[in-house]
A = this chain, B = another copy of it.
Amino acid sequence: MNEQHRVVIIGGGFGGLSAAKKLKKAPVKVTLIDRRNFHLFQPLLYQVATGALSPADISSPLRGILKKAKNVQVLMAEVTDIDPTTHEVVMGENRIAYDSLIIATGVRHHYFGNDQWETYAPGLKTIEDATHIRQRILSAFERAELENDLQKRKALLTFVVVGAGPTGVELAGAISEIAHLTLKDNFRNINPADAQVLLVEGVDRVLPTYPDNLSAKALNTLQSHHIEVRTKTIVTDIQAGQVTLKQGDQSEIIEAETVLWAAGVLASPLGRLLAEKVGATLDRFGRVMVQADLTLPGHPEIFIIGDLAHFEQAGKLLPGVAQVAMQGGSYAAQVIQKRLQGELSEKPFHYSNFGNLATIGWSAAVADLPFRIRLWGFIGWLFWVFVHLMKMVEFENRVIIFVQWVFNYFTRNRSARLITNGFHTVYDTEKLNVEEKEQE
């Protein structure tokens, strides 16, 4: 009986959520598994990392989004194994059977074999990454205010962003804005505008996946925002308080207390599990090679969508963006429904690119749209604001973000600039407690 067809979706990001929504009226039983209880609107994560928005502003509880989809169950759990012979997904002691499986667990950041850099140069993928980066950036200014040694103070006010893709460009733009606008008049010993922001990119231009002329526009905007851009430059070492850059044969050590990593991604460990269990082929970033219908060879019941999938269209790898994941999720859901109706010949997946957008601080953005339409500067930014507000999952979040942005725009404020979960100062925070205990 059709009603018993069980679809299990792993991952509640753009891909998994889009599949679940598409299936909500289908005669199937859906289980959506995620480690987190919320869907994250990742394109605005850099705004949390830079104190403009709160974590909850860009997150929606998965259960809330799907509460009216009575055939969908949400489980907050970590998938520990997949058994392709019994068709089961394993979550610790629990197991759940599937007839169709959609895997959409995405990617995390990656240090190209230099995992020890993570301690000094955090990347931005999760909400915790964002609040950690926020803490690092804000603490650097706080520590600089207390620092009397001028060289140490300079290192505290030097920010290096590695990687000039959209995330790197957005982070660098936001840090420059914090220094020049948000924190203006906030300090008495330092001038936050003395901060130096460096954006480092291995290839010869910023936003390398965008058309040449938009890269050039973006470079101009970055420079007018006081950001020093170093292209054709790679990072050869990162240690506490310093990063080593190499351009051609020239090496340079930069003293910087804050280094942020926006340079590389690696597929989620579920890719490795699939390679082991069903012989899936992985590319060098751990992404799973999929067929024209997004399934695994020999496993028409297993779909891989979103950032985790390696899918080429017209000879080009599809990028790891929300649109690709959402269209993939929707496509997989459709294929499953058609199969249940007896239609077995599927049209291959085709990605329709509706455009790419990246901001550089308040009031500037670049947009690469269909029909060779390209926007930049303030017009590009207004378009960016409109698209992002429209795409927000919950109507409520949209209103809150709009109010916050209007305030931020006119006041240059960032009200979510909290340093939480411990603070980074040069002081020994335990001292007083220790002394107290010694008295007892």
Chain B residues within an 8 Å CB radius of A77? 146, 425, 427
Cα A188 to Cα B75 with chains together (Å): 10
Q: Does A128 contact B (CB under 8 A)?
A: yes
Quick check: A418 and B127 within 8 Å, CB to CB? yes
Interface residues in A73-121 (C-beta closer than 8 Å to B): 73-81, 91-94
Chain B residues within an 8 Å CB radius of A36? 418-419, 423
Chain B residues within an 8 Å CB radius of A423? 35-37, 76
- CB within 8 Å for A92 and B426 given contacts A128-B421, A407-B396: yes
Quick check: B128 and A67 within 8 Å, CB to CB? no
Quick check: A78 and B425 within 8 Å, CB to CB? yes
Quick check: A428 and B92 within 8 Å, CB to CB? yes
Cα A339 to Cα B84 with chains together (Å): 81
Cα A404 to Cα B94 with chains together (Å): 37
Chain B residues within an 8 Å CB radius of A272? 436, 439
Q: Using an 8 Å CB-CB cutoff, how does the interface string of A419-435 with B read, 1 for contact, 0 for none?
A: 11101011111011101
Cα A59 to Cα B416 with chains together (Å): 8
Tally of this chain's copies = 2
Binding-face segment, A49-57, A224-232, A312-320, A328-336:
A49-57
Quick check: B418 and A61 within 8 Å, CB to CB? yes
Cα A430 to Cα B413 with chains together (Å): 40
One of B38, B183, B429 near A63 (C-beta < 8 A): B183
Which residue of B has the minimal Cβ distance to A29? B188
Cα A158 to Cα B56 with chains together (Å): 26
One of B138, B142, B269, B427 near A80 (C-beta < 8 A): B427
Quick check: A146 and B273 within 8 Å, CB to CB? no
Cα A393 to Cα B75 with chains together (Å): 39
Quick check: B138 and A37 within 8 Å, CB to CB? yes
Chain B residues within an 8 Å CB radius of A79? 432
Quick check: B94 and A55 within 8 Å, CB to CB? no
Quick check: A426 and B93 within 8 Å, CB to CB? yes
Chain B residues within an 8 Å CB radius of A341? none
Which residue of B has the minimal Cβ distance to A182? B64
